Amino acid sequence: MRPQLADPKIERRIDELLRQMTLAEKIGQLVQYSATEERSAKTSAVNTAALNVNPPAPGGVDSFKLAEAGELGSMLNTVGQEITNHFQHAAVDHTRLHIPLLFGADVIHGFRTIFPVPLGTASSWDPELISALAHMAASEARTAGVNWFYSPMVDVARDPRWGRCTEGAGEDPYLGAAIARAYIRGYQGEDLSAAGSVAASVKHFAAYGAAEAGRDYNTTDMSEIRLRQVYLPPYRAAVEAGAATVMSAFNSLNGIPATANPFLLQTILRSEWGFNGPVVSDYTAVMELVRHGIALNGATAAAKAVTAGVDIDMMSHLYDAELPALVKSGRVPVGTIDEAVRRVLRLKFALGLFTQPFTQGSEVTNAVASHRPLARRAAEESFVLLKNGDAGESPLLPLPKNKKIALIGPLADNANDMVGAWSGANNFGDVVTLRSALMEHAQQNGTTLLYAKGSEISGDSEAGFAEAVSAARAADIAVLALGESSDMSGEAASRAHLDLPGNQQKLLESIAAIGKPVVLLVFSGRPLVLDWEASHVAAIMEVWFPGVETGPAIVETLFGDVSPSGKLTMSFPRAVGQEPLYYSQFPTGRPEQFPDPAHPGFVETKYVSKYLDVPNDALFPFGYGLSYTTFTYSNIKVSATTVSVAMLRRNQKAQPVNASATVTNTGHRRATEVVQCYVRILGASVEQPVRNLKGFMRVTLDPGEAKSIQIPLGFEELSFYGRENRPVVEPADYTVWIGGSSTAQQSAHFKMQ
């Protein structure tokens, strides 16, 4: 589904508008302001003199007056019926052309009913759930006048030092593409003009997640094959699913900032992928071209951005300041401006704003009661059980209901940090904390609950240690809620160290030394280094930042009403020095010496170089996650021993191979397994990773139940980017694994010839 209208009647209306518009009105469609901002103040903030931009009018022009003049196209983070209708009336009622405004906002994981951070929901491996969550957010936001989301973020992220990995789907392009499509379906639906739909803005184009050293905004540099094979697939999937808009990235790519990169914005996005919606810059990214060093002044920055393909200048205010003179001088063709305006107007028609510009009905201002069950389900599906008992010992989870529990940690009764980064309106009163949910559970089941905060998230004070140790001594089981604060991940939140912050590990060591069973709940927006914890704690569950239903979701999982089914979408390292770490490593010409065939990761580790002081593999690998039951895999097969290269080249929609397996629940609880299929290609003209994810599905089984599953493999799954930077299939040997993580061992084989 393409949301950009190709209706000839609409195109004729756009032509009529363009003929009537002045240059100032055209450029106005390409600029964005917030509700409270004055042009003079903002231009000053980006250093007018240093950028050599045209100065604003004396006294400044506020955004409302710009709307009244027909010189404003969109507004940022202007939320609420009253204020959006106020500005919309200015644009529609007080101007001669009556062109409505777009209202965009950073709605990342819920508008008022906040669900888990995207890295958490990705751990569900449940695209249908993610679509439902996206639709829920869109339906809530539309009641507040918001019609444009700067989401989803589809950057592949392989370095958890980068704080914005919390906003994406993790390290794998295949899974990332599936989740990107899910967000677009949920946000936009079948009709952008429907009351519950918003325009999506896929970000950040492109390769922002590969920032060097995990430092936000940092440069990226990679081969074109890696760019196309690893980093572009989620963007392309979103565009093919009908994404209405695309946001350019802050970073440079191979020396050219993404916001002035014709190869990305013109060659790939528009020419190859056929995208005809508007491209918006990230916040002040046009101005930042000066800081990148490829423009000496604001005029050059504006010229480079708009001619490269950035249609809307988000908050730099260089388009309205510089484009009039640039067009009049001929440095920027008026045709370039007209095409950019056409794309903006096309989106406004698609959203139905020309016929219904104003927001009506009841505005959603808090978490919606009827939406909470979906938010709770999302939290429960996002939890990843990393450990549950040591070898030879009985699992600690689920907890019995008649035990005395000590709840300890700075995140146990912390509403503010449960919503994570980009948490909408920050209505912390909507959050049910772990402590409050456990207290309710204890009252209903006769359980004794003791509580001690123990420590702060950051800092070195041990003032609360004694109380925490005392509570643990008096209890049968200690549940520790430790991890990051919500502002430790997200934009501009890179970390060089990935361990528990502050003195939380010291608190954990003090509790573990008592000898009582310990359950560690890890709250974070990224993978952390949990090497000591994995060796000294009986049970560990990654719960991310779960949103408004934090407490009930964790309690239901701890006590076995729900069996955890989440699987990691980013590898958890043993040490930060392993980063960037990802499962789909490439082989080397000097393999690890003396590989141990008994090692569970033998297929991977035997082909890669090694560290002297830590194993190569992840502590908890991609795709990994335990359950309260056990699953076995058998009968791994492929439906063909040979596949015709010529046939697949002729018919790229064919699915010539089915990979199949039997999955059995060998435990005593009904539960869901995420079945994963991985493929390796040997003998190709371009070196390929030791394995790549090429299929997955969620399967729910009763105790003792077995199910045969099939995963079709076609051109998308069997091709790779060749030396000409195009997807190809070649004669080669293929290995297919099916299992419960990226370390699955049972395989089948076929040849492409």
- Catalogue the active-site residues: 282
Q: Do 216 and 161 meet the contact criterion of CB atoms below 8 Å apart?
A: no
DSSP secondary structure code for residue 601 in this structure: T
Backbone angles phi, psi at 237, to 5 degrees: -60, -40
Rounded to an integer, what distance in angstroms lies between the CA atom of residue 48 and that of residue 132?
A: 45
**Closest to 428 measured CA to CA, from 436, 441, 417:** 417
Q: Do 372 and 379 meet the contact criterion of CB atoms below 8 Å apart?
A: no
DSSP secondary structure code for residue 481 in this structure: E
Q: Do 160 and 488 meet the contact criterion of CB atoms below 8 Å apart?
A: no
Rounded to an integer, what distance in angstroms lies between the CA atom of residue 257 and that of residue 295?
A: 11
Rounded to an integer, what distance in angstroms lies between the CA atom of residue 121 and that of residue 582?
A: 19
Q: Cis bond leading into 135, ω under 30°?
A: no
Q: Do 738 and 633 meet the contact criterion of CB atoms below 8 Å apart?
A: yes
Instruction: Tell the residue number behind the tokens 């404003």, with chain if given.
Output: 72
Look up residue 720 and give its two tokens: 């790779």
Look up residue 441 and give its two tokens: 């559970």
Instruction: Tell the residue number behind the tokens 């009537």, with chain if given.
Output: 20
DSSP 5-56: ---HHHHHHHHHHHHH--HHHHHHTTEEE-TT-BHHHHHHHT-HHHHTPPPP
Residue 394 CB neighbour total at 10 angstroms? 8
Instruction: Tell how far CA 73 is from the center of its chain.
Output: 27
Rounded to an integer, what distance in angstroms lies between the CA atom of residue 110 and that of residue 183?
A: 12
**Closest to 297 measured CA to CA, from 251, 331, 252:** 331
Q: Which residues of 404-433 are buried (b: 16+ CB within 10 A; e: fewer)?
A: ebbbbbbbbbbbebbbbbbbbbebbebbbb
